[in-house]
Amino acid sequence: MDALELLLTRRSQPKLVEPAPSGEALNNILKAATQVPDHAGLCPWRFIVCSGEGLDRLGEIYSQAAIANGKSESDIARAKQLPIRAPMVVVAIANYVEHDKVPRVEQIGSAACSVMAMQMAALAQGFNGMWRTGSYAHCEHVKSSFGLKTDDEIVGYLYLGTPQFATPAKPSKNLEDFVTFWS
């Protein structure tokens, strides 16, 4: 697929099934994540690629977080199931590096670019994904389970797999609502 077509027609896909990307395809996805704009070359990102038992491990972290946060029995049970909505979940972390000229917001921005880059690399190779966050992205229990420092952030859980259905095209937006030209 042509790069411009990819960017102009991209859609997310919540219904993801096996196979997940593997081998060279997965390597390309992770390489794309590390080729993003990055002020001062700090590489302020880390990725945890979960599949198979790794998804159960992720679900266990969510359910422990649900317990720690006093959630209901049904929320605790649901938490365990969340990661198995796809055959692979990449946890994308902004790994903050203290720097005079590069504030935290820029490092989070760079990590967010990684998520988009991974999703586009997946699409380009016949897979798709869905960027999710929710309460387990902003939960101290989950963050400490991954060993994050105080200033680190989970910028997203990128669910990856093979699209179960074709995704309809997204209506294009009216650029005048968002863009001002100064010329």
- Give me the residues that bind ligand FMN (CB under 6 A), please: 11-12, 130-134, 156, 170
Least distance from C-beta 182 to ligand FMN, angstroms? 27
- Comparing CB distances to ligand FMN, the nearer of 5 and 100 is 5
Least distance from C-beta 134 to ligand FMN, angstroms? 4
DSSP 107-154: HHHHHHHHHHHHHHHHHHTT-EEEEE-SGGGS-HHHHHHTT--TT-EE
- Comparing CB distances to ligand FMN, the nearer of 67 and 137 is 137
Least distance from C-beta 19 to ligand FMN, angstroms? 21
Contact 70, 61 (CB under 8 A): no
Q: What angle do CA 43, 33, 20 make, to 5 degrees?
A: 140
What one-character DSSP code corresponds to residue 96?
-
DSSP 8-65: HH----S-EESPPP-HHHHHHHHHHHTSS--GGG---EEEEEEETHHHHHHHHHHHHH
What one-character DSSP code corresponds to residue 169?
P
Least distance from C-beta 135 to ligand FMN, angstroms? 9
- Comparing CB distances to ligand FMN, the nearer of 132 and 143 is 132
- Comparing CB distances to ligand FMN, the nearer of 20 and 82 is 82
Least distance from C-beta 5 to ligand FMN, angstroms? 15
**Which residue minimizes CB distance to ligand FMN?**
12
- Comparing CB distances to ligand FMN, the nearer of 87 and 129 is 129
Q: Which of 154, 164, 92 is nearest to 128 (CA)?
A: 164
